[in-house]
Amino acid sequence: MKYITRTVWVLSLVSLFTDTASEMLYPIMPIYLKSIGFSIVLIGILEGVAEATAGLSKGYFGKLSDISGKRAPFVQIGYAFSAISKPMMAVFIFPVWIFFARTVDRFGKGIRTGARDAILSDEATPETKGKIFGFHRSMDTFGAVLGPVLALLYLYFFPEDYVTLFYIAFIPGILAVLASLLVRDKKQPGTKEPVKTSFFSFLNYWKVSPPAYRKLLIGLLAFALFNSSDIFLLLKAKQAGLDDTVIIGVYIFYNLVFALFALPLGMLADKIGLKRVFLFGLALFAVVYFSMSISTSIYVIAGLFFLYGVYAAATEGISKAWISNITSPKDTATAIGTYSGFQSICAMLASSLAGLIWYQFGPSVTFLVTGVAATCILGYFMTAVKYPAR
């Protein structure tokens, strides 16, 4: 573990605290939203708009981080925004306010993501990118285990008291902000003059980026266009007959699998290649969605959440490691931010589309369409995207 530096540890702990706060709320979010009058279509639109906000801001602030040569302020401010959004969700239940509070949370993610991932990339070599990003994802996702466990314990003693959970989630959020203050900038190439750049200036990176980056991005964004919010998987579990407590338990199980497999799969990717591990994860995703379209068994759905956890471990950190290995270090935040910006626009469309298909044709068709699309995208990666540098 000698490749895990102090900075990587600090960022990983910050992510653990933040995910504890966020994931304490995530599994009960669709239940809470439905309890205050949100329809399945409106839930899909809410998640899509929130992710689109995060994505566009990821691109802008990633570019701003690169040209300013600063990372730490973006990390610290971003985590602060996410922390204050938690109690905001419980103050009022008006749809416009809920949209605003959720957007503040995602905006915070947009501010910090590019800068944080650039720091992680700077702390690694091309031969250890899988390990570093895998370790960070593992710690981040352990927060997604701890958060729902705390939510499960609370709801056991106080059933359906969802509002109080939003206030409790503020505590680990504040711990994340305090820990982020330990992050320090290395000297980065950048201007010392006041930095000015337009909000959409990151879009220009597409024109000057390496061809390998553009080919990779086409595949990743095509996948994002059909990869809707995990909320729909939780709703499927609810429809299969699982009560609120069991749904949270299944979600904990999924995140535990994700956390346990992220580092080993990152290490494997450093040995056999990032592309091979990513393709393995994408194939698992297709299997999960095809199976979800036909399964109503509680036990099968639980098994599919296991595979879904392995899929996430094989793709989320790996995709960012892949990007950082084929782009210049001075453009890392911009490259990842640009990808995240386009990805979140696709996520908005994916979640909105999934909500509409579910409403019109039911969950089986929703999952079947996604499974078919994932299979086609898998074919693109196998034939059109070259094996990345390691």
pLDDT at 29: 73
pLDDT at 166: 85
* Mean pLDDT taken over the chain: 84
Instruction: Please name which of 344, 346, 324 lies closest in space to residue 334, comparing C-alpha atoms.
Output: 324
Relative orientation angle of helices 95-122 and 298-325, to the nearest 10 degrees: 50
Residue 123 phi/psi, 5-degree rounding, is: -85, 0
Q: Per-residue confidence at 268, pLDDT binned at 50, 70, 90?
A: very high
Q: Per-residue confidence at 175, pLDDT binned at 50, 70, 90?
A: very high
199-250 pLDDT, tens digit per residue, is 667 777 888 888 889 899 999 999 998 888 787 888 888 777 777 778 778 8
Task: Provide mean pLDDT across the span 27-42.
Answer: 72
On whether the CB atoms of residues 13 and 181 are closer than 8 A, the answer is: no
pLDDT of 39 higher than 80: no
Coil, strand or helix: which one is 36? coil
5-21 pLDDT, tens digit per residue, is 899 999 999 999 999 99
Rg of the chain taking only CA atoms, in angstroms = 20
Q: What single-letter amino acid sits at 163?
A: V
The distance between the two most distant Cα atoms of the chain, rounded to a whole number of Å, is 61
What's the burial of 129, exposed, middle or buried (CB within 10 Å: 0-12/13-18/19+)? buried
Q: Which residues 6+ apart lie within 8 Å of 166 measured at CB?
A: 25, 86, 87, 89, 90
Assigned CATH class of 6-184+208-384: mainly alpha
Q: Which residues 6+ apart lie within 8 Å of 375 measured at CB?
A: 286
If one compares 44 and 232, the residue with the highest pLDDT of the two is: 232
The span from the first CA to the last CA of the chain, in angstroms, equals 19
Coil, strand or helix: which one is 168? helix
Note if the pTM is more than 0.85.
no
Cα 367 from Cα 357, distance rounded (Å): 10
Q: Per-residue confidence at 51, pLDDT binned at 50, 70, 90?
A: low
Asked whether the CA dihedral 236, 240, 241, 245 is positive or negative, the reply is negative
